[in-house]
Amino acid sequence: MAEKILSLEPYHPLDIFGANEVNLKTIKELFPSIRFVVRGDVFKVFGSDDMMIKFEKFFDVALMHFEKFNKLSPQDLKGLMDESASEYVKGSQISDDILVHGVNGKLIKALTVNQRKLVETSMKNDLVFAIGPAGSGKTYTAVALAVRALKNKEVKRIILARPAVEAGESLGFLPGDMKEKLDPYMMPLYDALRDMLPAVKLEKYLEDGTIEIAPLAFMRGRTLNNAYAILDEAQNATSSQLKMFLTRMGVYSKFFVTGDITQIDLPRKYTSGLKQAQSMLNNIKGVDFVHLNDKDIVRHSLVTNIIKAYQKLEDEEEKARIEKRNN
């Protein structure tokens, strides 16, 4: 009788064996002649040489299924006993309609016309600007595309950056070390990643640098090769900061810039780099701009009406300023 020691790393035992070990029970039913001894994320299997070879191939495909689709159920395991199903998992790529299989099998898709345009544009260009109002899916779509590229091994890492513009408070007076001070600014990026990657996998990626979330200033002096880099809230990057970020692009990299030019928090003496980039870079091959609008908002329906109300007020104030200047 052969003996084999297998490890679940970097996956959590709960993700693979299921709640109340329902998946482990299914595996035991599928391989009744094999004995299993489980200790945390390490387990021993005992059986004949032929059955052990068959089980190892099956288990490799099961882990691959979880890696690609972020879920593993008894039904999935039973289906993987079919050779054609195993070949599908080995060769499958996530379709353009489904950007990524999120946590618990959640399907992350481009939900609107302009979000789908973002996906199509990202396939054709190495630098994409997504400009639109809050809630229109700019950041979420960009992060999903980055996670998909990482899973498909198109890039080796993901870099997520934001300008750390102080919104009424000084960072120096906030408690904690630099990471603790900056994390609240980065929370939307963490939220998106938590939808798309299991907690244990995300933690591992953050620890080993496969995924890096950092303020824009930390990008200075670097070259980002084999990376999917996203600059979020780019309306709050100055012209020199945006230039610095864009010139970090290395070989085999994709860059994605998102922002809302109606929500600029920079002091008046600074020009938004995102506004400037629209006129400077729109004729460069390999660079494209996608503009989203209130029809792309996928948050609560009230968000659309709130944005329209604020836009109306801003238009009226701008009109009043023009009339005052003319008089």
Q: Which of 1-15, 81-95, 246-260 has the lowest mean pLDDT?
A: 81-95
Block residue for tokens 């603790």: 180
> Residue 138: in which H helix or E strand, if any?
helix 138-151
Contact (CB, 8 A) for 126 and 255: yes
How large is the average pLDDT for residues 174-182? 57
Cα separation of 227 and 205, whole Å? 14
Q: What is the pLDDT of residue 52?
A: 86
pLDDT band at 97 (very low <50, low <70, confident <90, very high): low
Q: How many CB atoms lie within 10 A of CB 309?
A: 10
Mean pLDDT for 287-294 is 90
Helix (H, G, I), strand (E, B) or coil at 227: strand
- What pLDDT is stored for residue 279 in this prediction? 85
90-95: list long-range contacts, CB under 8 Å, 24+ apart.
90/61, 90/64, 92/68, 93/152, 94/68, 94/148, 94/151, 94/152
Mean pLDDT of all residues belonging to the chain: 84
- When pLDDT is averaged across residues 34-58 and rounded to a whole number, the result is 87
pLDDT at 282: 85
Candidates 139, 118, 129, 137; CA nearest to 232 is: 139
pLDDT tens across 140-164, in order? 999 999 999 998 899 999 999 988 7
Can you name the residues that pair with 238 across neighbouring β-strands?
A: 272
Most confident of 86-100, 110-124, 137-151: 137-151
pLDDT at 274: 94
pTM of the model: 0.67
Mean pLDDT, rounded, for 17-45: 88
Q: Which pLDDT belongs to residue 169?
A: 39
100 forms beta bridges with 108
Calpha distance 179→64 (Å, rounded): 33
Which tens digits make up the pLDDT trace of 55-78? 888 888 888 878 777 778 888 888
**Residue 301, SS3 per DSSP:** helix
Question: 166: pLDDT confidence band, cut at 50, 70 and 90?
Answer: very low
Output the pLDDT for position 165.
Answer: 63
User: Residue 168's pLDDT is what?
Assistant: 38
47-61, 117-131, 218-232, 294-308: which has the minimum mean pLDDT? 294-308
Q: What is the pLDDT of residues 183-230, one digit of tens each?
A: 677 888 889 999 999 888 899 999 999 999 888 888 989 999 999 999
Do 269 and 318 touch, CB atoms closer than 8 A?
no
Q: Rounded to an integer, what distance in angstroms lies between the CA atom of residue 37 and that of residue 44?
A: 5
Residue 245 binned pLDDT confidence (cut-offs 50, 70, 90): very high
Distance (Å, whole) CA 194 – CA 156: 19
Average pLDDT over residues 257-263: 92
**Which of 219, 286, 220 lies closest to 254, judged by CA?**
286
Query: Is the N-terminal amide bond of 10 cis, ω within 30° of 0?
Result: yes
What is the torsion angle, in degrees rounded to the nearest 10, for the CA atoms of residue 44, residue 45, residue 48 and residue 50? -110
Q: Over range 74-88, report the average pLDDT.
A: 73
Is a pLDDT exceeding 50 seen at residue 167? no
Across 111-126, average pLDDT: 88
Q: Are strands 157-162 and 211-215 parallel, antiparallel or unpaired?
A: parallel
Given a cut of 90, whether residue 249 has pLDDT beyond it is yes
pLDDT exceeds cutoff 50 at 132: yes
- Ordered by where they begin, the domains of the chain are 2-91 (3.30.1370.10), 98-296 (3.40.50.300)
208 vs 8, 43, 63, 173, CA distance in Å? 18, 25, 21, 30
